[in-house]
Amino acid sequence: MKTPLVVSMAVAVTAVSAFCSAAEPQKLVWPKRLSPGDTLMLIAPAGPVERDQVMRFKDHIEQRGYKVKLRDDMFDVEGYLAGSDQRRAEEFNEAFADPEVDGVLAVRGGYGCMRMMPLVDWEGVRKSPKLLLGFSDITALHAGMNKAGVVSFHGPGPASGLGSKEGPTDFTAKYVVRAVEASPAGPYVVEVPESVSKVESFGKGKATGRLVGGNLSLISALEGTPYAIDTKDAILMIEDVNEAPYRIDRMVQQLKLAGKLDHLKGVVLGKFTEDFVREDKLTDDKRFDTTGVLRQYFENLGVPVLVNYPIGHFPQNCTVPLGGEVEVDADAKTLRILAP
């Protein structure tokens, strides 16, 4: 006799087979925006999570007026994972199937999302679009959400300030609320003071398009899979942490060889933090540090490019809609979110 978990996983595998054969929709659905009083579910789809950090995050959300659900097995540890692939996929599927849940918040990245993606009920996601917030390894789930036709939100979780004792920075808090809550509505420009980050740019002019991407390591790893991102006529956003320049070079070159840089409308280069430094100091050629490598690929791409934008593994982590329309302005060095 099959257990409920086996049955649910079999359903998910059948659904993903249909999902993988479908083309990515040109027009994605925006999930319902959040308002105090809504119910949010916390999930751990990647690395193991700290109970104290999650509980501080839960308290912070409840103080804003939200109700919170979570499964106690989210604190399971299986090697470098928050429990088994089946546990994490079941938790994700439950969050999207539960009619009481209005939004889903991933409590940390790390590694593990790609392992569970074949077990996710993507057809269920398509039928019940909900807001998903997270970044880093959650990039894989964002890619799946976009393939399923749903806009998702690249932004901070407990490990990036929302669950710390000090709380998030003012900039981080302002733009996560501005991105995901229902009020106020309408387009807005993200205002980035130099004290937050000194944003630079390559190229000139403005460009509007779908924002795609996230963590560079995950984006490159998804190439050749059904979840590879579609960059045609899009604004590509990338960020990463603790990667040596040659690895950044290799991953961007992979995207280039795959044709993913050919038909872009614009680019947002987020934070590439904790740059790797060669101990032997064989060269001081700045063309081959992280900034130099990115410059080689994007400076003469012929589209507006924002550089050093406060997105990613950085305390000032701006929340943005993946799959949503944005405007990049290289002259003003601004990003405008074009809400539906």
| Cα distance between residue 97 and residue 9, in whole Å | 14
Note whether 209 and 130 are within 8 A (CB): no
Q: Give the Cα separation of 103 and 295 in Å (integer).
A: 37
Residue reference for tokens 């740059």 = 275
Q: Which one is catalytic: 91, 239, 243, 327?
A: 239
**Catalytic hit among 60, 142, 154, 313:** 313
Q: How far apart are CA 103 and CA 115, in angstroms?
A: 23
**Cα distance between residue 106 and residue 163, in whole Å:** 12
Catalytic residue chosen out of the listed positions 8, 123, 136, 217: 136
Residue 239 annotated as catalytic: yes
For residue 263, indicate whether it is catalytic.
no
The residues annotated as belonging to the active site are 136, 239, 313
